[in-house]
Chains A and B, each alone.
Chain A
Amino acid sequence: MNKKSKIYFTVLFMLLFVSVFIPYALNISFSKKGKFDKYIGESQLHLIKTYETGEVILFYIDQGARAALKQAISNLGLTQTDFNRQKINKTKKRLLPEFQNNFLKITDNFPETKIPIIIDEYEFNLKRKGNSVELLGKYSDILKLEIRTDNKIVFTEAEIIKGERLGYYLLNPSFRETVAIT
């Protein structure tokens, strides 16, 4: 290519670029998500939203454990003396089944989907702290919450719902709740 034709080609190329390529690129950029199929930051947003859902679930579990424990103490009519060193093991045997029933009922009631807690995965530790009783629930497994593009709350154990899944967010539903006793 000689120098004259190179200059003509450059001018022609720039004209073509301004009149064809730029409008084409603008059209693609505004009408679709472009080359990367997703908006920049979209996957991160889904991850952050799943984290937010995880926090809501953990808060619900904490409050649920507290409500379940209070209800169990009230149902069994337990008082401070039942939590004395001599009686606490006997009390634990009565209290835990009642607590577990209440707790499962609460986790089943979570909006959108039930929380797939397996009660046997918990190791419970009950102790008296002054005028209160403390229940520690240590969960030995994890709950797998799906990071989804449709923002549905889906645990892997739950029924599979169509939609894109980006990964898993792991939750440990352990809790420590203290309730005052009379």
Chain B
Amino acid sequence: MDKKGVIWEELADFLLGGAILIAAIIFFIIMTGFTTEKESDYFEEEIIDVKDKELFISFLREEYTDDETFGDLLSEAVENSEKKTFIENFDMFLEEVYETKVCWKLYVGEEEWISKNICRTDIELLDSQIYVPTLNSYYKIRMNILGYAQ
């Protein structure tokens, strides 16, 4: 084989080897890498849900006085239907957390129980629910921070 023939032979080998390698990589990426919009939305929603719940529970575990947490204050407020103290203190606490006033709603079961402040933005900051027990049953409490307040 002459010199030119060797170069062509090398080039042909290189092209074939490279093509197979690139094809294999592309095939693998396509096989494993794609997620539909529905799937990625599902993951995003689930992660937001988990983060919101974690945040809500940590709010309720925050100390209100030496012996009481906001969770204790909330369950007392719900049980005694006396929401004034809870609203004032929790609103102040949320203002400290978000460094500005926020508009928020609290639902007991399906019923809207508290609605505090008027929103100026509609970027939802938190939406989560937990269970607060009573002796014979439990309350389903949903907290929704709808955005920053006016």
- Which residue numbers of A lie inside 8 Å of B, CB to CB? 3, 6-7, 9-10, 13-14, 17, 21-22, 25-26, 28-30, 34-36, 39-41, 45, 48-49, 51-52, 55-56, 59-60, 62-64, 66-68, 71, 102, 105-106, 109-111, 129, 132, 178-180
Contact A3–B8 (Cβ < 8 Å)? yes
Question: Complex Cα distance A55/B9, Å?
Answer: 66
Question: Complex Cα distance A52/B99, Å?
Answer: 26
Contact A13–B20 (Cβ < 8 Å)? yes
Interface string of B126-138 (1 = CB under 8 A from A): 0000111111111
Q: Which 8 A-B pairs have the closest CB atoms?
A: A6-B12, A25-B30, A178-B67, A29-B34, A3-B12, A64-B133, A17-B23, A10-B16
Count the B residues whose beta carbon is within 8 Å of the partner chain — how many?
A: 46
With a cutoff of 8 Å between Cβ atoms, the chain B residues found around residue A67 in the complex are: 75, 133-135
With a cutoff of 8 Å between Cβ atoms, the chain A residues found around residue B54 in the complex are: 52, 55
Chain B contact residues: over half helix, strand or loop, or mixed?
Answer: helix
Chain A contact residues: over half helix, strand or loop, or mixed?
Answer: helix
Interface string of B119-150 (1 = CB under 8 A from A): 00000000000111111111010000000000
Question: Complex Cα distance A180/B72, Å?
Answer: 12
Contact B134–A29 (Cβ < 8 Å)? no
For residue A150, give the distance in angstroms from its CB to the closest CB of chain B.
14
15 further interface pairs, Cβ-Cβ under 8 Å (given A10-B19, A17-B19, A66-B75): A7-B15, A14-B23, A21-B27, A22-B30, A29-B32, A29-B33, A45-B46, A45-B47, A48-B47, A51-B50, A55-B57, A60-B138, A66-B72, A67-B135, A111-B138
